[in-house]
C-alpha cells in the first residue's frame, strides 16, 4: 500500500515543521507530537495539521495507526524512552530521522546544500530568495523563517532545491548535493563529535558526497579534506581576494552595506544588501557564489540582494531610532556572538551596546565557557541569563556563572529568566541585542513593547 500519512515526533522543530508542510502540500495526512506549544506549532495547526503536546499513544490519530501507509519521522532530540516512538518501533512502522527524510526528497532534485557551524540559515535563505527572484526558481527547506515569504518552506515547479545541511548528529551526511557551500567549521556539538578534529572529518565526508562534476564553495581559510573526484572547488571571503569576495564596501545611513562582488569571470558593481551587518555581506558572497553556478541574471541578483528582508531571529531589527535600537539574534556559539556583536558595534559606532544572552546547552557552556566570556566581553554591558537546557540534564558545576566570572565588561548582571523583564523595565538602553537559541525568543515581543513604550514616554 502506498504511504498516505506522515507522523512527525518533534513536529515543532524548524526542520521538522518544514517537512510537515511539504507533505501536507503534496496531499498526505499529516499529524505529530511536540513537547511544547509554540507560535510555529500554532501556525501548523492553523494549516490543518493535527498536533498534540502530551506523549500519549492514545492521542495518535487513527489515520496514523496503519504501519503500511504511515511514515514516521523523528528528530534526534527525542529521548529513547519516548512512548510514542517506542509504539511505532514495536509495531514495525517505517521510521526515519528528519535528515533521512530530507535526503530522500533532495536526492530527486538539483540540490544546493549550505553547511557550516554558523551562517547556514541566512546563506540558504538568501540563496533561495535569489533563485526565486531569478527565473530559475527553487524549492527550499530553511532553518529559519524567511521574512520575505513568512515561511521555512518554499515550493515551486523548479528542479532546484536549497537545503540547510546540519552537522548536528551528522545529519548532513544524508545529503548528496550537486553544489554545496561550507561557511565555517568552528568547534561545536562536541557532545556528538568528541573533538573538533572529528567534526571536521565529518565535514570532509560531507563534501566528498558532492555529485561528480558538482561544485564546492568553501570559505577561505577552512581546512578540511577536500574531494578528489573532479568537482569544481572555489573559495570565498568577506573581503580577502579569492574566487568570490566583496570590495569597495560602504556602510549606508540605514546600517546596511553597499559593495561590489568579485566573481571568477567578472565584477558586479553597486550591490546593496537589504539587511544590516558585515557578517551578512559575507553570507551574501557565499549565496551569490552558489547562484553563479547556475548562471543567475546579474540584475536579478542585485534586485534579490536589495530586497532581501532577512530571517526572523537573525540580526532581526525590532526598533531602530537615533535614541534606541533593539536587535534580536539567534547567535549561540562564541564565533557567532563575536560576529553579531562586532557587526552591531560597526553599525552603531560610538553607541553603547548591551547584550542580553541566554546560553544554550550545558555541554556547550562547559566546552566553551572561556570563549563565551571573550565574545561577550566585546559588548559594553552584559545581562546574562541561566542556561537553557534543551535536550540535556544539568551537569554538576556548570552554570552561567562560569561564563559570567570571566566577562570583562565594566557593567554586567547575572539573572534568572523571571527577573529579566523587571531589569529591562528599570534600565535605559542605547543599543540592545538579545542573543541565544533557547526560549529567549519569548521575550522579544514583551521587550519590544516595553522599549517602544519608553520611547513614546520620552518624546
Q: Lowest-confidence range among 80-84, 203-207, 453-457?
A: 453-457
The answer, yes or no, to whether residue 1 has pLDDT greater than 60, is no
When pLDDT is averaged across residues 380-401 and rounded to a whole number, the result is: 94
Q: What is the pLDDT of residue 458?
A: 65
Give, as one character, the DSSP assignment of residue 455. H
Three-state DSSP state, 353: strand
- Give the confidence band of 459 by pLDDT, cuts at 50, 70, 90: low
When pLDDT is averaged across residues 432-444 and rounded to a whole number, the result is: 94
If one compares 397 and 169, the residue with the highest pLDDT of the two is: 397
Name the nearest CA neighbour of 15 among 75, 55, 85. Answer: 75
Do 388 and 416 meet the contact criterion of CB atoms below 8 Å apart? no
Q: Render pLDDT for 309-354 as a digit per residue (tens, 0 to 9).
A: 999 988 899 999 989 999 999 999 898 899 899 989 988 988 999 9
Q: What is the pLDDT of residue 186?
A: 79
Q: What is the pLDDT of residue 314?
A: 87
Q: What is the pLDDT of residue 57?
A: 97
Tell me whether the CATH fold assigned to 107-307 matches the one assigned to 316-458: no
Q: Render pLDDT for 43-78 as a digit per residue (tens, 0 to 9).
A: 999 999 999 999 999 999 999 999 999 999 999 888
Domains of the chain by residue range: 5-96, 107-307, 316-458
Q: What is the pLDDT of residue 135?
A: 81
Provide, rounded to the nearest whole percent, the portion of the chain with pLDDT above 70.
99
Q: What angle do CA 18, 124, 142 make, to 5 degrees?
A: 10
If one compares 441 and 187, the residue with the highest pLDDT of the two is: 441
Reported pTM: 0.86
Most confidently modeled of 134-143, 196-205, 286-295?
Answer: 286-295
179-182 and 215-219 beta bridge pairing: parallel
d(CA 19, CA 16): 5
Q: Does domain 5-96 have CATH number 3.60.130.10?
A: no
Residue 73 φ then ψ, to 5°? -120, 135
CATH of 316-458, one of 3.40.50.970, 1.10.3720.10, 3.30.110.30, 3.90.190.20: 3.90.190.20
Cβ density class 168-189: b for 16+ within 10 Å, e for less:
bbbbbbbbbbbbbbbbbbbbbb
d(CA 25, CA 154): 11
Q: Render pLDDT for 351-384 as a digit per residue (tens, 0 to 9).
A: 999 999 999 999 999 999 999 999 999 999 999 9
Q: Which three cell numbers stand for residue 169?
A: 548528529
The answer, yes or no, to whether residue 457 has pLDDT greater than 80, is no
Count the Cβ atoms, other than its own, within 10 Å of residue 53: 14
Query: What does pLDDT average to over the chain?
Result: 93
Count the Cβ atoms, other than its own, within 10 Å of residue 296: 20
CATH number of 107-307: 3.40.1190.10
- Give the confidence band of 168 by pLDDT, cuts at 50, 70, 90: confident
Amino acid at each position: 500500500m502506498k504511504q498516505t500519512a506522515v507522523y512527525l515526533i518533534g513536529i515543532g522543530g524548524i526542520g521538522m515543521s518544514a517537512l510537515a508542510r511539504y507533505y501536507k502540500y503534496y496531499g498526505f495526512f499529516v499529524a505529530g507530537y511536540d513537547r511544547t506549544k509554540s507560535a510555529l506549532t500554532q501556525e501548523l495547526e492553523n494549516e490543518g495539521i493535527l498536533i498534540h503536546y502530551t506523549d500519549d499513544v492514545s492521542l495518535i490519530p487513527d489515520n496514523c495507526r496503519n504501519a503500511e501507509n504511515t511514515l514516521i519521522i523523528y528528530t534526534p532530540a527525542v529521548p529513547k524512552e519516548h512512548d510514542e516512538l517506542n509504539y511505532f518501533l514495536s509495531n514495525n512502522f517505517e521510521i526515519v530521522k528528519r535528515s533521512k527524510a530530507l535526503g530522500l526528497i533532495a536526492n530527486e532534485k538539483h540540490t544546493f546544500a549550505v553547511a557550516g557551524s554558523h551562517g547556514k540559515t541566512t546563506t540558504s535563505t538568501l540563496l533561495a530568495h535569489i533563485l526565486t527572484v531569478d527565473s530559475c526558481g527553487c524549492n527550499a527547506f530553511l532553518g529559519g523563517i524567511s521574512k520575505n515569504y513568512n515561511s521555512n518552506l518554499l515550493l515551486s515547479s523548479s528542479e532546484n532545491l536549497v537545503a540547510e545541511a546540519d552537522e548536528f548528529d551528522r545529519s548532513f551526511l544524508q545529503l548528496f548535493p550537486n553544489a554545496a557551500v561550507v561557511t565555517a567549521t568552528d568547534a561545536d556539538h562536541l557532545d556528538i563529535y568528541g573533538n573538533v578534529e572529528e567534526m571536521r572529518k565529518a565535514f570532509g565526508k560531507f563534501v566528498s558526497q558532492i555529485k561528480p562534476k558538482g561544485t564546492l564553495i568553501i570559505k577561505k581559510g577552512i581546512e578540511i579534506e577536500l574531494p578528489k573526484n573532479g568537482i569544481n572547488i572555489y573559495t570565498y571571503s568577506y573581503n580577502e581576494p579569492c574566487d568570490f569576495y566583496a570590495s569597495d564596501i560602504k556602510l549606508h545611513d540605514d546600517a546596511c552595506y553597499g559593495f561590489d562582488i568579485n566573481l571568477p569571470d567578472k565584477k558586479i558593481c553597486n550591490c546593496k544588501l537589504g539587511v544590516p551587518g558585515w557578517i551578512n555581506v559575507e553570507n551574501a558572497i557565499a549565496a551569490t557564489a552558489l547562484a553563479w553556478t547556475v548562471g543567475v541574471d546579474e540584475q536579478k541578483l542585485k534586485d534579490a540582494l536589495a530586497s532581501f528582508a532577512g530571517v526572523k531571529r537573525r540580526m532581526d531589527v525590532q526598533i531602530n531610532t537615533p535614541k534606541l535600537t533593539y536587535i534580536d539574534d539567534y547567535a549561540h556559539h562564541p564565533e557567532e556572538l563575536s560576529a553579531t556583536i562586532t557587526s552591531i558595534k560597526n553599525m552603531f559606532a560610538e553607541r553603547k551596546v548591551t547584550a542580553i544572552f541566554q546560553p544554550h546547552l550545558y555541554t556547550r557552556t562547559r566546552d566553551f565557557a572561556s570563549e563565551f566570556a571573550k565574545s561577550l566581553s566585546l559588548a559594553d554591558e552584559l545581562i546574562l541569563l541561566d542556561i537553557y537546557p534543551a535536550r540535556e540534564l544539568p551537569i554538576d558545576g556548570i552554570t552561567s556563572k562560569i561564563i559570567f566570572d570571566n566577562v570583562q565588561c565594566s557593567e554586567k548582571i547575572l539573572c534568572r529568566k523571571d527577573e529579566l523583564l523587571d531589569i529591562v523595565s528599570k534600565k535605559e538602553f542605547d543599543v540592545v541585542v538579545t542573543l541565544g537559541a533557547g526560549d529567549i525568543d519569548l521575550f522579544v515581543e514583551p521587550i519590544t513593547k516595553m522599549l517602544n513604550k519608553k520611547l513614546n514616554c520620552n518624546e
